[in-house]
Amino acid sequence: MESSELAIEIRDLYKLYGPKPEAALGHIRSRSMRPEDSGHFVALNNVNLAIEPGKICVIMGLSGSGKSTLLRCINRLIDPTGGQIFIQGHEITHASTKELRRIRSSKISMVFQHFALLPHMTVLDNVAFGLRIAGISRKERRDRAAHALELVGLSGWNDRKPSNLSGGMRQRVGLARALVMDTPVLLMDEPFSALDPLIREEMQQELLRLQNTLNKTIVFVTHDPNEAATLGNRIAILLKGEVVQYGRPLDIVISPANDYVRDFVRGINVFNVLSAGQIVDPARPPVVLTGTSVTSLPISRSTAGPVAVTDGTGRILGVVEKTASLGASAADWQSALSQDYIRIAPDQLVAPFLEELSRNGRPLVVVRDDDSLVGVVTGSSVLKALAANSGVKSKCEEARQQPESKSAMAAEQRAG
Amino acid sequence: MDFTDFAMQVASAIDNFTNYVSQKFGAVFDFISAIILGINDPLTAALNFVPAWLVIVIAVIGGFAAGRLPLALLGGLGLAFILAMNLWSAAMVTFSLVLTAALISLAIGIPLGTLIAESKRMNAVFEPILDFMQTMPAFVLLVPAVFFFGVGVVPGVVATIFFAMPLPIRLTAHGLKMVEPEVIEAGEAFGASRMTILFFIKLPLAFKSIMAGVNQCIMMSLSMVIIASMIGAGGLGDEIIRSISRLQVGRGVEAGLVVVILAILIDRFTRRISQKIDPTA
């Protein structure tokens, strides 16, 4: 079953508020009635989302767009009116109260906007609260809670009350309380929006640092586009309960599906989203060097600039700076091979390397961990991405406007 | 049309009803009497058995523990004044009546308030009953109390319970309803059952409001216990009624002052103690 590969899958989800939500949903589904004529408030309108394990999926939208409702449907703090939700392939939409409690303590934990700590318990007891409910022994839950507090950098505060802590520290406790449950899925409801901007950035980095080792599936609600761009592997943009666009941050920045999304992402600093794998230059395919033969020579070698050279299995051998003078001889290429390039992973942000690229012209070569090549980032590919973000669209691009830009899709495929 | 006739019919219908009830459910009233006397009698005996100086010492020490010097002074001087007014034993009778009534009111009121907060249906049922109880003038409560329980301590305490119970019910329910929804959600999100959420999250967080209800319940009990002296509950109220009937203004004011002091002491002590044991502080 396809859904078993996904951490979370949401199908045709609806949430209606009003006198007769079920009946109204029937009309909306059969298309005999438009949602706005149903006399009900449609908080979620046919939401479909597939979230891969280990990824951070950001749900973004204005207040009232249904993002918190969507998040709460995932652990059924709110019961959806219709549709299905699968967590690791198991449908939770019809789980009984008892099952639901088990799922909540073993599969999904949650971090809240205003921390939602219990003021009458110490920090340690707050973190251990979920374990206590799950019936874990006192010693084990205290050990695990202490470890979780260490993880978020709060050891030594165990016996304080939450009221003694600053906002950022309280949210660290909230995070520890969720992490200690050791659940694969973590729901975060605008967790950093109540914090000062500086602390917020610090917490974002902290979350990314933790995510590096923990690899949880995180659903993160925010209304801050830059936060979404910083954290999200995928961003879903919600408008009046509908997902208007779901994709990688760069795709959304470069090719917004409509004006609402465009307005929304205008504030995103494009350098926050430009990862190397996404902007390799399609006009710079690698040269393949196998034994004595050179295959896939650049079509037009007159375009000066470096090309990457790989072996027959796609592993990087090096770069060649000046290709115009080289013939089809493998030996020539072999001797021209240089190791003077900047190696960069596909998901690394490209921003810190741009100065190097512009000043010294050292090629930026995007290589995966196993040495296989993704492509080369060039000045022109960076410019292309920036131009697309500037909002001034060329005539020809307008003509072929699609929800997802082709080059970005191609880049994604190459990036894997 | 003659309305006197109609009024008489209503009155006699009520009489018939109460007659019927008191005969049919005599056992129930006996049971209630037994509970009230079972609490009040030992309490009165104990309070009068302990020498006054010991009570004062306890109040000073307790006052110091709960509220440092001001409360210790207040406790010591207040009780010394009562002793000096020669109204000690009457005050102890009143105090024990207050404690009995308040104890029973709270034992019923806090769980009932919890039930009302948790169940919309219970809320709908009890809302008008509570309104009725709260708008009922204190004196009117004495009538059915006398009818079902005669005169003496028991009807006094019963009337007091009816008078003092609505506030702790309301304040308990209010405190529970005012708990931040996000904190309750946090409990739910971590798999807590309704009962766990009630006992580990809602009740501790509603503590301030519940304790305000306790405080108000005791204060209202005190005022009603004085009025209940009219039906023979005894204590300080007796002194006041006696001095009214004998036109002894001075003695009446003395007894009134003792009631006020008792009220202040109970109020300050319960407040300080509830602040002291507040789990959310």
Q: Do A116 and B180 touch (CB under 8 A)?
A: yes
Same domain, A261 and A299: no
Q: Which amino acid is at B64?
A: F
Q: How many CB pairs under 8 A join A and B?
A: 65
- Residues of B with CB below 8 A from A108's CB? 189
Q: In chain A, which residue's Cα lies nearest the Cα of B193?
A: A101
Q: Which amino acid is at B60?
A: V
Same domain, A322 and A201: no
Q: Do B190 and A118 touch (CB under 8 A)?
A: no
Same domain, A60 and A85: yes
- Crossing angle of helices B249-276 and B52-84, rounded to 10°: 140
Segment A17-32 shows an average pLDDT of 85
Region for A368 from its dihedrals, namely left if φ exceeds 0, alpha if ψ lies in -120 to 50, beta otherwise: beta
Task: Look at residues A240, A268, A296 and tell me which one is the last residue of a structural domain.
Answer: A268
Segment A134-152 shows an average pLDDT of 91
Segment A94-118 shows an average pLDDT of 90
- Residues of A with CB below 8 A from B280's CB? 119-120
Smallest Cα–Cα separation from B98: which of B224, B240, B222? B222
Q: Mean pLDDT over all residues of chain A?
A: 82
In the 8-state DSSP scheme, what is residue A285? Answer: P
**Other CB atoms within 10 A of residue B251 CB:** 18
DSSP state letters, A144-192 = HHHHHHHHTT-TT-TTS-GGGS-HHHHHHHHHHHHHTTT-SEEEEESTT
Q: Do B186 and A116 touch (CB under 8 A)?
A: yes
A153-204 pLDDT tens trace: 888 888 889 988 988 899 999 999 999 998 999 999 999 988 888 888 888 9
Q: What long-range pairs does A34-39 form, CB within 8 A, spacing at least 24?
A: A35/A241
Percent of chain A with pLDDT over 90: 24
Q: In chain B, which residue's Cα lies nearest the Cα of A114?
A: B182
List of residues 6+ apart from B31 with CB closer than 8 A: none
Task: Kindly state the tokens that stand for B139.
Answer: 């004196």
Same domain, A219 and A360: no
Segment A197-226 shows an average pLDDT of 89
Burial class (CB in 10 A: 0-12, 13-18, 19+), A193: middle
Q: In chain B, which residue's Cα lies nearest the Cα of A183?
A: B190
Same domain, A366 and A282: yes
Q: What phi and psi, each to the nearest 5 degrees, are found at residue A391?
A: 90, -20
> How close does chain A come to B183, measured CA to CA in Å?
5
Burial class (CB in 10 A: 0-12, 13-18, 19+), B22: middle
Burial class (CB in 10 A: 0-12, 13-18, 19+), A97: exposed
The span from the CA of A245 to the CA of A403, in Å, is: 8
Q: Do B196 and A119 touch (CB under 8 A)?
A: no
Residue A110 has what pLDDT? 93
Residue by residue, pLDDT tens for chain B (281 residues) are: 567 788 888 888 888 887 888 788 888 888 888 888 888 889 888 888 888 888 888 888 888 888 788 888 888 888 888 888 888 888 888 999 999 999 999 999 999 999 999 988 999 999 999 988 888 888 888 888 888 887 888 888 999 999 999 999 999 999 999 999 999 999 999 988 889 999 999 999 999 999 999 999 999 999 999 988 888 888 888 888 888 888 888 888 888 888 898 888 888 888 888 888 888 77
Q: How confident is the model at residue A399 (pLDDT cuts 50, 70, 90)?
A: very low
Same domain, A254 and A353: no
**Helices marked H in A195-339 — which ranges?**
197-214, 225-231, 249-254, 259-265, 330-336
In the 8-state DSSP scheme, what is residue A277? Answer: G
- The domain tally of chain A equals 2
Determine contact, residues B213/B105, Cβ cutoff 8 Å: no
B 156-215 residues with CB < 8 A to A: 180, 182-183, 185-193, 196, 200-201, 204-205, 207
Measure CA B226 to chain center: 12
Range of the domain at A38: 2-107+183-268
- Residues of B with CB below 8 A from A187's CB? 189
- Crossing angle of helices B138-149 and B3-24, rounded to 10°: 50
Determine contact, residues A258/A231, Cβ cutoff 8 Å: no
| A310-347 burial code (b ≥16 CB/10 A, e <16) | beeeeebbbbbbebeebeeeeeebeebeeeebbebebe
Smallest Cα–Cα separation from B80: which of B97, B103, B63, B100? B63
List of residues 6+ apart from B36 with CB closer than 8 A: B100, B104, B153, B154, B157, B158
- How many residues make up chain B in this entry? 281
Work out whether the CA dihedral A122, A126, A129, A132 comes out positive or negative. negative
Looking at residue A289, which CATH number applies to its domain?
A: 3.10.580.10
Q: In chain A, which residue's Cα lies nearest the Cα of B182?
A: A116
Of B186, B193, B204, the CB nearest to A101: B193
**Helices marked H in A31-122 — which ranges?**
67-74, 97-106
Residue A335: pLDDT over 80: no
> How close does chain B come to A104, measured CA to CA in Å?
5
Q: In chain B, which residue's Cα lies nearest the Cα of A174?
A: B186
- Residues of A with CB below 8 A from B193's CB? 101, 133
Q: In chain A, which residue's Cα lies nearest the Cα of B184?
A: A116
- Residues of A with CB below 8 A from B175's CB? none
Same domain, A94 and A236: yes
A 89-118 residues with CB < 8 A to B: 100-105, 108-110, 112-114, 116-118
Determine contact, residues A158/A123, Cβ cutoff 8 Å: yes
Return the half-sphere exposure (C-beta side, CA atoms, 13 A cut-off) of residue A181.
30
Determine contact, residues B52/B68, Cβ cutoff 8 Å: no
Smallest Cα–Cα separation from B221: which of B77, B4, B36? B36
Of B184, B185, B190, which to mutate for an interface test with A (greatest number of A Cβ within 10 Å)?
A: B190
Question: A391 lies in a domain?
Answer: no
The span from the CA of B9 to the CA of B12, in Å, is: 5
Question: A209 lies in a domain?
Answer: yes
In the 8-state DSSP scheme, what is residue A234? Answer: E
Q: Do B182 and A113 touch (CB under 8 A)?
A: yes
Same domain, A281 and A340: yes
Same domain, A98 and A233: yes
Task: Kindly state the tokens that stand for A333.
Answer: 């290429």
- Residues of A with CB below 8 A from B188's CB? 77, 104
Determine contact, residues A341/A364, Cβ cutoff 8 Å: yes
Give the 3-state secondary structure of residue A320. strand
Task: Kindly state the tokens that stand for B32.
Answer: 């209630």
Of B189, B201, B205, the CB nearest to A104: B189
The domain locations on chain B are 30-48+87-276, 50-84
Same domain, A45 and A193: yes
Of A105, A114, A119, the CB nearest to B190: A105
Same domain, A284 and A375: yes
CATH of B30-48+87-276, one of 3.40.190.10, 1.10.3720.10, 3.40.50.10070, 3.40.50.10420: 1.10.3720.10
Same domain, A283 and A354: yes
